[in-house]
């Protein structure tokens, strides 16, 4: 504490305030470089994994919808074939 008073007496209060602000800025930059960037990287990785899952689910849904559509077309085709046979049998008699 006496060191700061001696510096303030020799160079003046603005210089001491500049040194204090510089020290504070250095600490903020260290915090941003270390802790904050780690948190941002973790969040980025988490978001990346979520996006990958969403894309995979979208692909699975498209595949499922395609299979469902093929089943529906097959059922409609077989229904149409049955109805055509019944119609021919009815009108053929």
Residue matched to tokens 């941002």: 40
Mean pLDDT, range 16-35, rounded to an integer: 88
**Weakest-pLDDT range from 7-11, 24-28, 45-49, 82-86:** 7-11
The whole-number pLDDT of residue 93 equals 57
The pTM of the full predicted model, rounded to 2 decimals, is 0.50
How large a percentage of the chain has pLDDT more than 90?
Answer: 44
The whole-number pLDDT of residue 90 equals 79
Judge whether residue 61 has pLDDT over 70: yes
**Weakest-pLDDT range from 8-22, 56-70, 74-88:** 8-22
Coil, strand or helix: which one is 12? coil
Residue matched to tokens 């990785």: 45
Question: Does an H or E element contain 9, and which?
Answer: helix 2-11
């Amino acid at each position: 504490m006496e060191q700061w008073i001696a510096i303030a007496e020799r160079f003046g209060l603005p210089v001491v305030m500049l040194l204090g602000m510089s020290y504070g800025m250095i600490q903020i930059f260290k915090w941003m470089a270390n802790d904050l960037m780690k948190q941002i990287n973790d969040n980025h990785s988490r978001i990346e994994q979520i996006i990958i899952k969403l894309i995979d689910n979208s692909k699975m849904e498209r595949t499922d919808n395609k299979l469902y559509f093929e089943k529906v077309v097959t059922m409609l085709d077989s229904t149409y074939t049955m109805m055509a046979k019944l119609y021919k049998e009815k009108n053929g008699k």
